[in-house]
Amino acid sequence: MKRAKLIISIAICVIVCTGLLLYNNTKKTSDGSENFVVITDVIPDAILEIRYHSTFNFVGTRVDGYLEPTALMTRQSADSLKVVSDEMKAKGYRLKIYDAYRPQCAVDHFVRWAQNPSDTLTKRYFYPMLEKPVLFEQNYILSRSGHTRGSTVDLTLFDEATGKEVDMGGVFDWFGEESHPDFCGNPDTGEYTGGALTEEQFRNRMLLREVMLRHGFLPIDSEWWHFTLANEPFPDTYFTFPVKRL
């Protein structure tokens, strides 16, 4: 009888321990990060300049949630971006990435910054012609960002021949019409109409845009550097885990 009780006790212990192990493993992946990859694991020659891990950004400080200077995307979007990279490499370019997946706490940080009118440290560099309240009105700052769904990337091109970034006639995260894809031209037809951008600068923007669209990414109207995978796998999910190597 004692032997039977001992066997039962051991069996119960094994069941409980197995259940705890499964529970802990579930907890580890419940944040959704198992659906993401590090972009440079998929595209080893991509250049990373993760602005929100630095102080060189419109907030002027490291942004909440950026624990490491790396870039994450869903597996589907990273695979599509790899096809973009392969085509660009054949043309003599590499991809330079400023941002990709962005946790919700980072978006919340942007909102707090925009709601503080006394903080104008970076105004001359990123929004000299605008006041903070209009950043909400003109959709530069939002309480929800497509980046948080994991299939959006901010990027530019790096020219292998010159060893420099391609001249796009504007900088990442500039708040103003100069960043719009239709500034000085028609992005649908590729027609250059003249203005503050040179024709070469406009053509450079269109090169990036055309290749991204050809491989399944969609642009937005306000930023030449911003693209989202059209068939994104998590269109209604806003993730919260931090940016760091997985």
Catalytically annotated residues: 223
- CB-CB contact of 170 with 224 (8 Å): yes
What distance lies between CA 88 and its chain's CA centroid? Answer: 19
Residue type, 166: V
Which residues have a Cβ under 8 Å from the Cβ of 211 and sit 6 or more positions away?
Answer: 84, 87, 88
The secondary element (H helix, E strand) that includes residue 85 is helix 75-90
Which residues have a Cβ under 8 Å from the Cβ of 234 and sit 6 or more positions away?
Answer: 32, 35, 74, 149, 150, 151
Which residues have a Cβ under 8 Å from the Cβ of 16 and sit 6 or more positions away?
Answer: none
The secondary element (H helix, E strand) that includes residue 228 is strand 226-229
Q: What angle, 0 to 180 degrees and rounded to 10, lies between the N-to-C axes of helices 75-90 and 199-214?
A: 130
CA separation for the pair 160, 62 (Å, rounded): 30
Q: What is the DSSP string of 194-215?
A: -SSS-HHHHHHHHHHHHHHHHT
